[in-house]
């Protein structure tokens, strides 16, 4: 029986591709799906593009494929990557230039049509409100400040690219799991309305899209076989799926790599970012996880079967970004005894200064690193006097850059004239532009006709 082996690439912009090499060399993979785009990443790429119009794609794309391509050619492995970000064609051009310089042969496909920033008014004229998905707020409140807007596309354009013979498929914003579902549709010929098989492929993609998190990384268990028992995380192997024509899959990893694939690590990844396990939405299918079965086969192998799918949603998700002002930040630390009391006293001094100077910020946010920066209101204060050190981190939001820039200047004098043991001052940090995210929905029939797939060959 034919099986297809799909491997995880990067799980975010900045992730390591070293484990990908192990999957190619020893894992028998035929395809690598690489997810470079968290929703926040589009905001980062927009800042890049504002500085350089030729930018807007993830800068790890070219060094990653430059490193992996010779090995991939040797093993016949193809790549699907959403590293195109806000500029898939720019990503293609940069990759083609590098491959041509090295004399490497490849067919590189580009999927475009997800960017709709220039179509906002036309979409509204067609009857789409584009109201905020969570709050219902009208888009008029941010319309003039919108900087980008991209639709989550599904797997079908990527399938078209593979059918055209692409060795590398570059996309902008697509659903993460589509990078893994597409080669399964292509290889097995699954129909666009074969909901159970598509749901099985979506499950595979969901289990692979976060790189090492699907094979023992970030394993949030404190039992006897918890995170401390996961072997050799420094050489973790990214998850690989062996998929059968009916969608049944075995999740594993390359032999000789670190990490762990078992019932618990796979189960944790399965539930990651899932609000309703009976209705996990994607552009291609709605997955009901209630019928899924996980079977630990031992030896870093877990069988996943019995996915149930329902018809795909009528609308696609858009994530848009808008100018949301500026942030100013400063950090200063204090040590025992009374580290927390010193940090709180400094916060009070700074807030009083801001009031006296009439520096009116839209928001002031305080964190005490070493106490509540991760746990927030859940932080345990029963041993607060025993803390060895605490760092006060204060941030402000302002509409005006100069106002944000003024904030960290309220801190340096405290080193000699404030509470004792001050250290670790972060300096006068430059203000950061803030980009807000605006999720919304759009009818798919207004988007899909505009999606294009192009193919370009590098040097022969």
pLDDT 10s digits, 12-24: 999 999 999 999 9
- pLDDT, residue 186, reads 99
Residue 206 inside a domain? The answer is: yes
Residues 70 and 198 in one domain: yes
Residues 277 and 327 in one domain: no
- pLDDT, residue 426, reads 86
Q: Are 425 and 415 in contact (CB under 8 A)?
A: yes
Residues 196 and 268 in one domain: yes
Distances (CA, A) of 154 to 46, 96, 285, 376, 439: 22, 25, 9, 37, 17
Q: Are 17 and 45 in contact (CB under 8 A)?
A: no
Q: Are 232 and 260 in contact (CB under 8 A)?
A: no
Cβ contacts of 353-357, under 8 Å, gap ≥ 24: 353/410, 354/407, 354/410
Residues 304 and 328 in one domain: no
In 10 A of CB 66, how many CB atoms? 15
Residue 434 inside a domain? The answer is: yes
Residues 309 and 325 in one domain: no
Residues 220 and 364 in one domain: no
Last residue of a domain, one of 313, 346, 369: 313
Query: Which residue range is the domain that position 279 belongs to?
Result: 4-114+152-313
Residue 122 inside a domain? The answer is: no
Residues 226 and 371 in one domain: no
Tokens of residue 111, six digits: 């999927």
Residues 345 and 294 in one domain: no
Residue 301 inside a domain? The answer is: yes
Burial of 293 (0-12, 13-18, 19+ CB in 10 A): exposed
pLDDT tens digits, one per residue of 42-78:
999 999 999 999 999 999 999 999 999 999 999 999 9
Q: Are 328 and 396 in contact (CB under 8 A)?
A: yes
Q: How many domains does the chain have?
A: 2
Residues 273 and 329 in one domain: no
In 10 A of CB 429, how many CB atoms? 16
Tokens of residue 13, six digits: 């912009």
Residues 247 and 364 in one domain: no
The CATH number that applies at residue 421 is: 3.30.70
Residue 379 inside a domain? The answer is: yes
pLDDT tens digits, one per residue of 443-460:
999 999 999 999 999 976
Residue 127 inside a domain? The answer is: no
d(C-alpha 54, C-alpha 32), whole Å = 26
**pLDDT < 50 stretches in the chain:** none
Check residue 110 and report its DSSP letter.
E
Last residue of a domain, one of 313, 340, 374: 313
Residues 283 and 403 in one domain: no
Residue 133 inside a domain? The answer is: no
Q: By three-state DSSP, how is residue 352 classified?
A: helix
Residue 139 inside a domain? The answer is: no
Residues 337 and 241 in one domain: no
Tokens of residue 360, six digits: 């009116």
């Amino acid at each position: 029986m034919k099986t297809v082996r799909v491997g995880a690439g990067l799980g975010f912009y900045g992730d390591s591709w070293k484990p990908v090499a192990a999957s190619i060399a020893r894992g028998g993979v035929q395809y690598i799906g690489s997810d470079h785009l968290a929703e926040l990443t589009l905001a980062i790429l927009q800042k890049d593009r504002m500085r350089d119009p030729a930018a807007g794609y993830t800068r790890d794309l070219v060094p990653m494929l430059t490193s992996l391509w010779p090995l991939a050619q040797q093993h016949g492995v193809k790549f699907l990557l959403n590293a195109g970000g806000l500029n898939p064609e720019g990503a293609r051009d940069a990759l083609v230039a590098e491959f041509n310089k090295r004399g490497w042969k490849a067919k590189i496909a580009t999927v475009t049509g997800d960017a709709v920033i220039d179509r906002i008014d036309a979409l509204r004229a067609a009857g789409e409100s584009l109201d905020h998905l969570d709050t219902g707020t009208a888009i008029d409140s941010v319309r003039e400040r919108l900087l980008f807007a991209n639709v989550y596309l599904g797997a079908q354009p990527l399938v078209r690219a593979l059918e055209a013979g692409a060795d590398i498929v570059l996309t902008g914003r697509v659903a993460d799991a589509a990078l893994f579902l597409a080669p399964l549709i292509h290889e097995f010929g699954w129909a666009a309305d074969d909901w159970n098989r598509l749901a099985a492929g979506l499950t595979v993609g969901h289990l692979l899209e976060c790189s090492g998190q699907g094979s023992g990384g970030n394993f949030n268990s404190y039992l006897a076989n918890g995170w401390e028992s996961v072997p050799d995380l420094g050489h973790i192997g990214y998850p690989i799926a062996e998929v059968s024509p009916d969608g049944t899959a075995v999740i594993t990893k390359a032999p000789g790599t670190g990490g762990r694939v078992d019932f618990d690590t796979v189960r944790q990844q399965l539930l990651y970012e899932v609000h309703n396990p009976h209705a996990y939405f994607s552009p291609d299918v709605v997955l009901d996880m209630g019928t899924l079965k996980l079977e630990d086969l031992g030896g870093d192998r877990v069988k996943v079967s019995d996915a149930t799918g329902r018809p795909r949603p009528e609308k696609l998700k858009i994530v848009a970004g808008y100018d949301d002002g500026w942030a100013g930040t400063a950090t200063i630390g204090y040590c025992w005894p009374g580290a927390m009391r010193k940090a709180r006293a400094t916060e009070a001094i700074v807030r009083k200064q801001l009031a006296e100077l009439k520096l009116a910020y839209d928001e002031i946010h305080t964190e005490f690193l070493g106490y509540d920066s991760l746990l927030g209101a859940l932080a345990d204060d029963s041993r607060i006097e025993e803390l060895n050190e605490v760092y006060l981190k204060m941030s402000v939001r302002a509409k005006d850059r100069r106002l944000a820039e003024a904030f960290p200047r309220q801190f340096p004098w405290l080193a000699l004239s404030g509470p004792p043991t001050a250290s670790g001052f972060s300096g006068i940090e430059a203000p950061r532009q803030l980009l807000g995210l605006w999720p919304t929905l759009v009818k798919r029939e207004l988007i899909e006709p505009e999606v294009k797939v192009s193919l370009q060959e590098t040097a022969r």
